Amino acid sequence: MRMNRCNSGTDSKGGLAGFSSLDGRRTVIAVCAGSLCGRTVRYVMKALQIVFAGLDLWMEAHLARAVYCVMDVHYGAPGTGSVLRHECVLRRTGCRLRIRWREREKIMDEHIYMRRVIELAHKGEGWCHPNPMVGAVIVKDGRIIGEGYHARCGELHAERNAIASLRESAKGATIYVTLEPCCHYGRTPPCTEAIIEQKIARVVIGSRDPNPKVSGGGAKVLREAGIEVVEDFLRDECDALNPVFFHYITTKTPYVIMKYAMTADGKIATKTGASKWITGGEARGRVQQMRHACMGIMAGIGTVLADDPMLNCRIEGGRDPVRIICDSTLRIPAESAICRTAQEIPTIVVSAFPELPDGEIAAAENPAKSAVSPAPEAADAASESKTGAESIYSKIRSLQQCGIRVFNIPDRKDPENSRPDLAELMKQLGKLEIDSILLEGGGTLNESALRAGIVQEVRAFIAPKLFGGQAKTPVEGGGVSVPDEAVQLEYKSAERIGEDLMVTYRVKK
């Protein structure tokens, strides 16, 4: 077989290449394009002209009058776009080369299958907590015959949803899945059982599951059943789906994202405290998506008193996060938007009274009764203490009647700290299966969160504005003495949203 190669050049979106294999009867040509735009289409045509010119010369040299051709045109960077396969018949009439071609089929490679799986997995965002986002696609003879994703916690996993959607037998097929299939009984049966029952021959896995109940066990069960298992396929892209799950399943504490909007000179409000609005509507819309994606949202009492926010998700069809308000002495007003809507949106208020027991205060519990009886000589002081405790309990009871759960979590390790122990709070929230929190606090709460080491990610929305003056900044507190004491961040990404910029960092531990 003779091989000719013709290159037509490249563009910034992936480039083009034409290939032809000629044996007198069949020609196979592949053309790769960066994207389906006007410029790329012109490049594709140029590539075809070069390839076909080479064919014309070959046909003339071999006195051939017709050649059958199969041409694959890739739209998008290799491994990312669709592939259209065409049949072509090339005939020489005198000095002219005539081309007749038609689309025969759409084919895909394994990268495209897995990226389809990732796309499906994203559909579970905001709904499948505390489970991971997972997608699955079943492929047989080059065709997708079933697909699914994990929609909600307690419902079928992605693999079982894909199997439920099958239009034909999956015997001998390949299943692509973003996360290692589970092999244990939880809220649903093991996915490995369903894969084996369907006689699927091959499993392609993106991420490994750090859940101790799985952690390699799923792949092992499948291999023992005689199924070929490919692991770590597009692992980085699949891992990017579930930083929340990976953190939560290994630490049993929420993944905390600190979010703030600031000007280019680092101000979150003007000198008068005005902050509406620093960023534009598109950036604020992205924040609503983040509220939908996170299971909880946390703010301080200062934010509640200054702005009276709802802290809900304003996307149509979105999910409201659990609202968590850090309020050491329960100053939250009964007429605030938080209290007025607590029957509709789950809400937790966290106090820090050292004289009260730790943890959630039960509705019928009276902190005054839990106090130790004082000696007779301290009767006056005891009476004062009892009155104070009863006053606190009265406030707690009024909040509970609004539908609010009250947790008392003082910092027992540092009695001088009058604010809640945020590290202990994360443990309590983890027990409630709250796997992620969007921290929308002011500078004081942000500083406390960073000092407590509970933040995993920072998302800074930067507006093209300058406020100047002595206005507030995203992180208040005493600050550090020397640069080496700074909280170290690792750059993750930057994205322009409207006129604003969102920069995402990971917090180095």
Query: Catalytic site residues?
Result: 159
* Contacts of range 11-19, beta carbons closer than 8 Å, 24 or more positions apart: 11/39, 11/40, 11/43, 13/40, 13/77, 14/76, 14/77, 14/78, 16/43, 16/44, 16/46, 16/47, 17/47, 18/47, 18/48, 18/50, 18/51, 19/51
Q: Is 105 exposed, middle or buried (0-12, 13-18, 19+ CB in 10 A)?
A: exposed
Q: How many CB atoms lie within 10 A of CB 25?
A: 9
Phi/psi of residue 64, each to 5°? -85, 145
Under 8 Å between Cβ of 500 and 280: yes
What is the spatial distance between Cα 78 and Cα 94, in angstroms, rounded to a whole number? 37
Structure tokens at 99: 């081309």
Closest residue by Cα to residue 204 from 235, 239, 168: 235
Q: How many CB atoms lie within 10 A of CB 481?
A: 7
Distances (CA, A) of 291 to 297, 345, 431: 7, 13, 21
Structure tokens at 282: 């598109």
What is the spatial distance between Cα 352 and Cα 197, in angstroms, rounded to a whole number? 54
Place of tokens 């013709």: 6
Widest CA span of the chain, in angstroms? 121
Q: Give the strand pairing for 500-507 and 296-300.
A: unpaired
Count helices and strands in the chain by DSSP H and E runs: 13, 21
What is the spatial distance between Cα 507 and Cα 309, in angstroms, rounded to a whole number? 27
CB neighbour list of residue 57: distance below 8 Å, 6 or more residues apart: none
3-class SS of residue 73? strand
Structure tokens at 472: 């507030």
Q: Give the strand pairing for 2-6 and 500-507.
A: unpaired
Q: Is 489 exposed, middle or buried (0-12, 13-18, 19+ CB in 10 A)?
A: middle
